[in-house]
């Protein structure tokens, strides 16, 4: 049995960051990753980075096979760089092996010819999440059914793509494959897109995606997938219709990676949803075990996982002021074309919470920068508290919004009045100067 100061299970954003930081404090760290193709975690290997490369290349008219090749090259480079940065650290030992708890302080690691028990006073779970496969008849019988991970391994563009689910992954992949020239149909059980977003913004998104050729089937489940021939499948829908496609993408949410982790041998409990239960400092129900990133539920973003590692560092080495309770104003972007970026409350949510609100709205075509970049699509909206003039939220559907939203976050974190962004001197002609007009709220 090998003894470490810390065992980290999973080479994700939080795990690798924490490994480096604990090593800097002279802790002896074991970092356990079950898949050598996953050094660096989900984001760089199969999620954020590869998908955003494909979004970028699709928008720049790069043929699909070339974009896939470039994506593979970048991913391999990043994976090797991530591995090297910790493998070269004398305080970190990487185990390429699956981890399974034997008790609160013992973890068995099993890999290529390796079987060993490790022990540590501190153990951190960062095992991420994996695609949820809904119980659609025939789903496991066809090799033309893909997840977000396996679809982007395809070297040839599927001519017709059916996507089940219209969440983040459904919409981003619809936009991305449509840009490469695939005929895309999105099937969703809901009656409308993005039910939690501002309705006017969603209407713009739907109008724009449909104008680009994406087809939506609302209020319907995929009930059965049947192989037609070596190249196509039929998807039978609950509304009685059916459609044929060369590939089906399941974009129906992600579930925490806890299977086979041996949590039954520990005091770690799961929530009703199956996530690892944590307190505001990310400590599980076992005193010496923490959970970080997607596996603990809540918002699933790389920057949340990174911030989880900060919370853990703060609770181990500082006053523990940084916690889930102190985390606020989390922005997010959906990388459709143009992108949607969001923070805080929509007008409806603000009113439901009892705020008297003022709103600002700016169609992108009213803004000089839009004419410079020859992209007039989109709508920006903001919500402000009438009583305090504080910014309650922003929905920015338009070019460059993933950068702009962080400016709004900064103002919200500083508790600045909306006039701060309205009356700011911005350079010209750039997208952020849209805030001069957008924050002229009524």
Ligand X SMILES: Cc1cc2nc3c(=O)[nH]c(=O)nc-3n(C[C@H](O)[C@H](O)[C@H](O)COP(=O)(O)OP(=O)(O)OC[C@H]3O[C@@H](n4cnc5c(N)ncnc54)[C@H](O)[C@@H]3O)c2cc1C
Ligand Y SMILES: NC(=O)c1ccc[n+]([C@@H]2O[C@H](COP(=O)([O-])OP(=O)(O)OC[C@H]3O[C@@H](n4cnc5c(N)ncnc54)[C@H](O)[C@@H]3O)[C@@H](O)[C@H]2O)c1
What are the residue numbers of the active site? 428
The correct pick among 20, 167, 298, 417 for binding ligand Y (CB under 6 A) is 167
Using the minimum distance from each CB to ligand Y, give the nearer residue, 132 or 326. Answer: 132
Q: Which of 127, 59, 429 is nearest to 290 (CA)?
A: 127
Q: Which of 217, 146, 211 is nearest to 377 (CA)?
A: 211
399 CB-contact burial (10 Å; exposed 0-12 / middle 13-18 / buried 19+) = buried
Whether omega before 169 lies within 30 degrees of 0, making that bond cis, reads no
**Checking phi first, is residue 298 left (phi over 0); if not, alpha (psi -120 to 50) or beta?**
left
Q: Which residues bind ligand X (CB under 6 A)?
A: 9-14, 32-35, 38, 41-43, 47-48, 51-52, 98-99, 126-128, 148, 169, 257, 260-261, 293-295, 300-303, 305
Nearest position to ligand Y, beta carbon: 167
User: Taking a C-beta distance cutoff of 8 angstroms, is the pair 441, 358 a contact?
Assistant: yes
Query: C-alpha distances in angstroms, 284 versus 266, 273, 280?
Result: 10, 15, 10
Task: Choose which of 35, 66, 76, 190 interacts with ligand Y (CB under 6 A).
Answer: 190
> Of ligand X, ligand Y, none, which one sits near residue 190, judging by CB under 5 to 8 A according to partner kind?
ligand Y
When the beta carbons of 188 and 309 are compared against ligand X, the nearer one is: 309
Does 177 engage in binding with ligand Y (CB under 6 A)?
no
| 170 near ligand Y, judged by CB under 6 A | yes
CB of 324 to ligand Y, least distance (A): 16
H-helix segments, 88-165:
148-151
Shortest CB 294 distance to ligand Y, Å: 8
Question: Per-residue string for binding with ligand Y, 313-352, x by CB under 6 A?
Answer: -------------------xxxx-----------------
Structure tokens at 271: 């929530």
Between 91 and 305, name the residue whose CB sits nearer to ligand X: 305
3-state secondary structure of 126: coil
Nearer to ligand Y by Cβ, of 239 and 318: the residue is 239
CA atoms of 28 and 4, how far apart (whole Å): 5
Inter-residue contact 274 to 129 (CB < 8 Å)? no
3 state DSSP class of 244: strand
Q: Which does 334 bind (CB under 5 to 8 A by kind): ligand X, ligand Y, none?
A: ligand Y
14 binds ligand Y (CB under 6 A): no
Whole-angstrom distance, CA of residue 324 vs CA of residue 391: 21
* Residue 395 interaction partner, one of ligand X, ligand Y, none, beta carbon < 5-8 Å per kind: none
Residue 305 sits in the site that holds ligand Y (CB under 6 A): no
Identity of the residue, 222 or 268, whose beta carbon is nearer to ligand Y in the bound complex: 222
Query: Whole-number minimum distance, CB 90 to ligand Y, in Å?
Result: 35
Nearer to ligand Y, 167 or 417 (CB): 167
Q: Among residues 301, 355, 380, 435, which is the contact residue for ligand Y, using CB under 6 A?
A: 301
Q: Which stretch binds ligand Y (CB under 6 A): 154-162, 169-177, 266-274, 392-400?
A: 169-177
Nearer to ligand Y, 335 or 439 (CB): 335
With CA atoms as reference, report the closest residue to 209 among 251, 253, 178: 178
Q: C-beta of 129: minimal distance to ligand X in Å? A: 6
Phi, psi dihedral angles at 417 (to 5 degrees): -70, 160
Q: Which does 127 bind (CB under 5 to 8 A by kind): ligand Y, ligand X, none?
A: ligand X
Edge to edge, what strands does the sheet with 391-397 contain?
332-334, 340-344, 391-397, 379-385, 357-363
User: Binding partner of residue 43 among ligand X, ligand Y, none, CB under 5 to 8 Å per kind?
Assistant: ligand X
The DSSP element (H or E) to which 101 belongs, if any, is: strand 92-103
Based on the shown chain and the rule CB under 6 A, indicate whether residue 57 belongs to the binding site for ligand Y.
no
Please state the closest distance from residue 45 (CB atom) to ligand X, in A. 7
The interface partner of residue 252, options being ligand Y, ligand X, none and the CB cut-off 5 to 8 Å by kind, is ligand Y
| Secondary structure percentages of the chain, helix, strand, coil, to 5 | 35, 25, 40
Binding to ligand Y in span 206-265, by CB under 6 A: 221-222, 251-254
CB closer to ligand Y out of 126 and 315? 126
Do 183 and 213 meet the contact criterion of CB atoms below 8 Å apart?
yes
Given a contact cutoff of 8 angstroms between Cβ atoms, the answer to whether 164 and 187 are in contact is: yes
Instruction: Order the strands of the 215-217 sheet from edge to edge.
Output: 145-146, 247-250, 160-164, 183-187, 215-217
Interface residue list for ligand Y (CB under 6 A): 134, 164-170, 172, 188-190, 221-222, 251-254, 300-301, 332-335
């Amino acid at each position: 049995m090998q003894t470490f100061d810390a065992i980290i299970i999973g080479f994700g954003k939080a795990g690798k960051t924490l490994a480096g930081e604990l090593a800097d404090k002279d802790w002896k760290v074991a970092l356990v990753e079950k898949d050598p193709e996953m050094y660096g975690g989900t984001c760089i290997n199969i999620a954020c980075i590869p998908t955003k490369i494909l979004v970028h290349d699709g928008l720049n008219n790069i043929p699909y096979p070339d974009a896939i090749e470039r994506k593979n090259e970048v991913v391999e480079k990043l994976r090797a760089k991530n591995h090297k940065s910790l493998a070269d650290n004398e305080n970190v030992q990487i185990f390429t092996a699956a981890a399974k708890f034997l008790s609160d302080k013992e973890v068995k690691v099993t890999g290529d010819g390796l079987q060993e028990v490790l022990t540590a006073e501190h153990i951190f779970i960062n095992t991420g999440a994996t695609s949820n496969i809904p119980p659609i008849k025939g789903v496991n019988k066809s090799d033309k059914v893909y997840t977000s991970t396996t679809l982007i391994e395809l070297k040839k563009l599927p001519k017709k793509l059916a996507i089940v689910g219209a969440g983040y992954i459904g919409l981003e992949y619809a936009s991305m494959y449509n840009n490469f020239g695939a005929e895309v149909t999105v099937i969703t059980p809901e009656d409308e897109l993005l039910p939690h977003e501002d309705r006017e913004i969603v209407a713009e998104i739907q109008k724009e995606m449909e104008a680009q050729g994406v087809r939506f089937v609302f209020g319907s489940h995929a009930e059965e997938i049947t192989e037609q021939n070596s190249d196509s499948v039929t998807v039978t829908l609950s509304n009685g219709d059916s459609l044929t496609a060369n590939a089906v993408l399941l974009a129906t949410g992600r579930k925490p990676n806890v299977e086979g982790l041996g949590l039954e041998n520990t005091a770690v409990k799961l929530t009703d949803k199956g996530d690892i239960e944590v307190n505001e400092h990310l400590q599980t129900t076992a005193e010496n075990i923490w959970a970080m990133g997607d596996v603990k539920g809540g918002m699933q973003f790389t920057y949340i996982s990174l911030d989880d590692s900060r919370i853990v560092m703060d609770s181990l080495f500082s006053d523990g002021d940084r916690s889930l309770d102190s985390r606020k104003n989390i922005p997010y972007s959906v990388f459709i074309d143009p992108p949607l970026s969001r923070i805080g409350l929509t007008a409806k949510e603000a009113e439901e919470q009892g705020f008297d609100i003022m709103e600002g709205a700016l169609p992108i075509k009213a803004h000089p920068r839009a004419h410079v970049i020859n992209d007039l699509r989109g709508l920006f909206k903001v919500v402000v508290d009438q009583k305090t003039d504080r910014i309650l939220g922003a929905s920015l559907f338009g070019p460059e919004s993933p950068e702009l939203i962080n400016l709004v976050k900064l103002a919200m974190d500083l508790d600045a009045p909306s006039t701060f962004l309205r009356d700011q001197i911005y350079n010209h002609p750039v997208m952020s100067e849209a805030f001069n007009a957008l924050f002229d709220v009524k």
